[in-house]
Structure 1
Amino acid sequence: MKEKIFLPPPALAQALAQRESLRVIDTIADNGPYHSRRAFLDDYRDMVNTMKVFVYPCSPRDPFSHIFLPTSSAPSGNYASEAYFKKALAESGMVTDDPSQADLFFMPFSITRLRNDPKVGVGRMPAFVRDYVKNISHRWPYWNRTGGSDHFYVACHSIGKVALEKAQHVRLNAIQVVCSSNYYVQGFIPHKDVAMPQIWPRSESFREIKTIEQRKVLAFFAGGSNSPVRANVVRTWRNDTQIHAYPSRIQGSYAEALLRSKFCLHVKGYEVNTARLGDAFFYGCVPVVIANYYDLPFSSVLNWKSFSVVVTTANIPKLKAILSGISREDYSQMHRLVLDARRHFQWHAPPREYDAFYMVMYQLWLRRHVVRYPLH
Structure 2
Amino acid sequence: MWSTKLSQPPASSYCSLQSSLLSLAILTLLSFTYLSLKSFHSPNSPSSETPSLIVQSSQVVRAEQEVLSDVYNSPEVFRLNYEEMERKFKVFIYKDGDPKTFYQTPRKLTGKYSSEGYFFQNIRESKFVTEDPNEAHLFFIPISCHKMRGKGTSYENMTIIVQNYVDSLIAKYPYWNRTMGADHFFVTCHDVGVRATEGYPFLVKNAIRVVCSPSYDVGYIPHKDVALPQVLQPFALPAGGNDIENRSLRLYKSVDLPTKDRCFVCTHFPCNTVDPSKDRCQSNRLTTLGFWAGHRNSKIRVILARQWENDTELDISNNRINRATGPLVYQKRFYRTKFCICPGGSQVNSARITDSIHYGCVPVILSDYYDLPFNDIIDWCKFAVVLREKDVYDLKQILKNITQEEFATLHNNLVKVQKHFQWNSPPIRHDAFHMVMHELWLRHHVIKFNGCKVPSILRLYKVVDAMLTGSLRLYKSVDLPTKDRTTLGFWAGHRSSKIRVILARQWENDTELDISNNRINRATGPLVYQKRFYRTKFCICLGGSQVNSARITDSIHYGCVPVILSDYYDLPFNDIVDWHKFAVVLREKDDLKQILKNITQEEFVT
TM-score, structure 2 normalization:
0.55
Give 1:312-331 correspondences, 5 Å limit: 312-331=388-407
Give 1:219-368 correspondences, 5 Å limit: 219-250=290-321, 251-252=325-326, 253-271=329-347, 273-368=349-444
Paired residues of 1:106 and 1:152 also in contact (CA < 8 A): yes
Q: Is structure 2 residue 190 aligned with structure 1 residue 157?
A: yes
Paired residues of 1:259 and 1:284 also in contact (CA < 8 A): yes
Match of 2:181 among 119, 129, 148: 148
Letter in 2 for 1:201: Q
Paired residues of 2:289 and 2:339 also in contact (CA < 8 A): yes
Give 1:46-85 correspondences, 5 Å limit: 46-58=84-96, 62=98, 64-71=99-106, 73-85=107-119
Q: Is structure 2 residue 222 aligned with structure 1 residue 190?
A: yes
Letter in 2 for 1:219: G
Could you tell me how far 1:157 is from its partner in structure 2? Answer: 1.4
Change (3 A) 1:52 1:372: farther
Change (3 A) 1:275 1:125: same
1:271-328 deviation line (CA, Å, top 9, x unaligned): 3633111101111110001111111100000101111111222111100100000111
Letter in 2 for 1:339: V
Q: Which position in structure 2 is the counterpart of 1:13?
A: none
- Unaligned runs of at least 5 residues, structure 2: 1-54, 242-261, 265-282, 454-606
Match of 2:144 among 83, 97, 110: 110
Could you tell me how far 1:239 is from its partner in structure 2? Answer: 1.3
Q: Which position in structure 2 is the counterpart of 1:122?
A: 155
User: Alpha carbon RMSD of aligned pairs, Å?
Assistant: 2.4
1:246-282 deviation line (CA, Å, top 9, x unaligned): 1112244112210010001111121363311110111
Paired residues of 2:342 and 2:363 also in contact (CA < 8 A): yes
1:107-146 deviation line (CA, Å, top 9, x unaligned): 011111122223x321211111110110001111111111
Q: Which position in structure 2 is the counterpart of 1:4?
A: none
Q: Which has the larger radius of gyration?
A: 2
Paired residues of 2:68 and 2:79 also in contact (CA < 8 A): no
Letter in 2 for 1:68: Y
Stretch deviating more after TM superposition (164-173 or 174-183) = 164-173
Paired residues of 2:67 and 2:75 also in contact (CA < 8 A): no
Q: Give secondary structure in 2 for the equivalent of 1:96.
A: coil
Q: Is structure 2 residue 132 aligned with structure 1 residue 98?
A: yes
- Unaligned runs of at least 5 residues, structure 1: 1-16
Q: Return the structure number with greater relative CO, CA threshold 8 A, min gap 6.
A: 1
Paired residues of 1:58 and 1:65 also in contact (CA < 8 A): no
Letter in 2 for 1:223: G
Paired residues of 1:238 and 1:246 also in contact (CA < 8 A): yes
Distance 1:223 1:92 in 2: 36
Change (3 A) 1:228 1:370: closer
Paired residues of 2:116 and 2:187 also in contact (CA < 8 A): yes
Q: Give secondary structure in 2 for the equivalent of 1:28.
A: helix
Distance 1:186 1:233 in 2: 22
Q: Which position in structure 2 is the counterpart of 1:216?
A: 287
TM-score, structure 1 normalization:
0.88
Q: How many percent identity over aligned positions?
A: 38
Aligned residues: 354
Letter in 1 for 2:210: V
Q: Is structure 2 residue 200 aligned with structure 1 residue 171?
A: no
Letter in 1 for 2:288: V
Paired residues of 2:67 and 2:79 also in contact (CA < 8 A): no
Change (3 A) 1:81 1:301: same
Distance 1:262 1:56 in 2: 46
Distance 1:21 1:159 in 2: 43
Letter in 2 for 1:26: E
Paired residues of 2:72 and 2:377 also in contact (CA < 8 A): yes
Letter in 1 for 2:349: N
1:1-27 deviation line (CA, Å, top 9, x unaligned): xxxxxxxxxxxxxxxx99987544422
1:201-239 deviation line (CA, Å, top 9, x unaligned): 116784353532242211111112222221221111111
Paired residues of 2:115 and 2:231 also in contact (CA < 8 A): yes
Distance 1:203 1:100 in 2: 40
